[in-house]
Amino acid sequence: MEIHQIPSLRSPVMVIAFSGWNDAAEAATGALSHLLASWSDPEFDVVPELIADVDPEDFYDFQVNRPMVEIDESSVRALTWPGTQIFALKTPTLDHDFVVVRGVEPSMKWKTFTADLLDLADDLEVDLVITLGSMLADAPHTRPITVSGSGAHPDIAQRLGVEISKYEGPTGILGVIQDGCVRRGVDAVSLWAAVPHYASNSPSPKATLALINALEDFLEISIPQGVLPDESSAWEIEVSEMAKEDSDVAEYVKALEESKDASDLPDVTGESIARELERFLRRQNGS
């Protein structure tokens, strides 16, 4: 890992997402891209600062994640290598700053990769790590995207007010990072969005928006929404049009809607409305 600087940050929260296995419909990496852009204001020198780059030679299989060739306006070719970058995002209107880790899921040496990343987190005095992921699920695109929050250890889950992770099975780099945090005594929470599996071929701004909202709710902050709500509505309309063209898909979506409505009915009248109200009030106070 090449460290460019160790900036002075206020109670930084590290937020992590990787493309690949953990990133259905690019929702998680899309959320970090939105986070990096939402507070950027070059006019006032409020821009993400590059803290470090992970050397791709050490952690990536280039036959799995190949470098990309790009040609600029002068017809000059350049290679962009798969990798991971760590940014400092200073947010003076909030009580803490962010360390944003965005990249491609590494192919090898996950223990070393995690150790290097958490060593940097120690240097930056990070005491909370939030990993973002998105997974394919039997969920209708016409209903709110469900985001589940969990802690990697029962003590952490209870203290931070999230569910205890009960998942068993294959995991990705996010699971390894969560485990590394537990072993170091660092608080770590995972937020996962459930993406409709029949609508995962293109990026889902609706799932990205759901993760942004979940991050807002967990940290009790307000994050600028930008064009995400409009893009989310357009995505939903586009998927609905696609579903209408196939009667089997349309019937399947209807069945998912009925199942979702039946299971969510008690929550709709209580907790979800309270969350929406709290989010609205935070935005009003932040304006």
Q: 76-132, pLDDT tens digit by residue?
A: 898 989 999 999 999 888 899 999 999 999 999 999 999 999 999 999 999 999 999
Give how many domains the chain has, as a whole number: 1
pTM over 0.75: yes
**What's 79's domain CATH number?**
3.40.50.10900
Beta bridge mates, 69? 79
What residues contact 226, with CB distance under 8 A and at least 6 apart? 34, 37, 38
How far is the C-alpha of 267 from the C-alpha of 39, rounded, in Å? 32
Q: Report the pLDDT value the prediction gives residue 32, as an integer from 0 to 100.
A: 96
Domain that holds residue 118: 2-286
Residue type, 53: D
Contact in structure between 222 and 232 (CB atoms under 8 Å): no
- Report the pLDDT value the prediction gives residue 136, as an integer from 0 to 100: 92
* Residue 269 pLDDT: 53
Closest listed residue to residue 5, CA positions, set 124, 125, 127: 124
CB burial class (10 A; 0-12, 13-18, 19+) of residue 146?
A: middle
Burial status of residue 182 (CB atoms within 10 A of its CB: 0-12, 13-18, 19 or more): middle
Nearest to 16 by CA among 132, 176, 119: 132
Query: What pLDDT does residue 72 have?
Result: 84
Kindly tell me the sign of the dihedral angle through the C-alpha atoms of 254, 28, 283, 96. Answer: positive
Residue 271: per-residue pLDDT: 60
Is 125 strand, coil or helix? coil
Residues in the chain where the model's pLDDT stays below 50? 44, 287
